[in-house]
Structure 1
């Protein structure tokens, strides 16, 4: 089964070569600007610090990167989809909440609730919202991402999934 994403335009914010490769292998055109059908946001992991060592500015920066920017980007993408009268797919990718400290845990915990809420709210507009939480950046992640943004996952929205490849 190939060509799941033929004719789709995807914008990836952040770095994950496995996701970019999987989307392209399934036929998506990767775009940097302009209209797109798929928006993938990959948050860079913050430096790991113990909770009692975090400054307020570091706490806010983690929440901004891990939650605020994602919400604002998703809101802009959804507005573009509505203006075109088409649906779309949003995928958030990041580390699991227990992986990187209290600030990351707060952002990822909130992201899980945001994913579920937007998934329900925007389903009526044909916009799907899902999250994958993992430290893996390999082919498994790329293939799951390609599936979640494809029409094969047309009824999957509001899902928060994890990939754990540790032995």
Structure 2
């Protein structure tokens, strides 16, 4: 896997050490927000508190939809605009828990994210921008390898894919 991402610049928003390590090991240079252009944008959603549907208030509902869907869309939209401006494609990867893992509010956001991933994957393909998602609760090394593959040129024809990964932690 070494060198898959050589010459690429990646921005990772959120915390997933296995993904960060695998993307760096594949040769990408990590850049922080505001440190210039990047070829790869990975968004890792934070886990929310698990509550039963009847215990979720409106403000919690909106906050979790904002974190799990709205911020992701707006971040991807900004990244895609940067790609178009410089005339090069790129790769977007959303990572988060599967729909059934964290409660109704998260399920709504994750379900919508699946549809968003498919829609953006088709719509932005003509611009060379790939959009994929991994829905998982694992943080194992295998997750990092899958993430590095999906943002690499080896996955140049993979877009709009929503992959579920179920590994024992």
Shift of 1:47: 0.5
The match for 1:153 is 155
Q: Distance in 2 between matches of 1:126 and 1:63?
A: 28
Alignment of 1:1-167 (within 5 A): 1-33=1-33, 34-166=36-168
Provide TM-score, normalisation by structure 2. Answer: 0.97
Q: Distance in 2 between matches of 1:55 and 1:63?
A: 12
Q: Any idea what SS the aligned residue of 1:47 has?
A: coil
Show structure 1 runs of 5+ residues with no match. Answer: none
Shift of 1:56: 0.3
Structure 1 stretches of 4+ with a deviation exceeding 2 A read: none
Shift of 1:2: 1.9
Q: Distance in 1 between matches of 2:168 and 2:18?
A: 18
Provide TM-score, normalisation by structure 1. Answer: 0.98
Shift of 1:166: 3.4
Aligned-residue Cα RMSD (Å) equals: 0.9
Show structure 2 runs of 5+ residues with no match. Answer: none
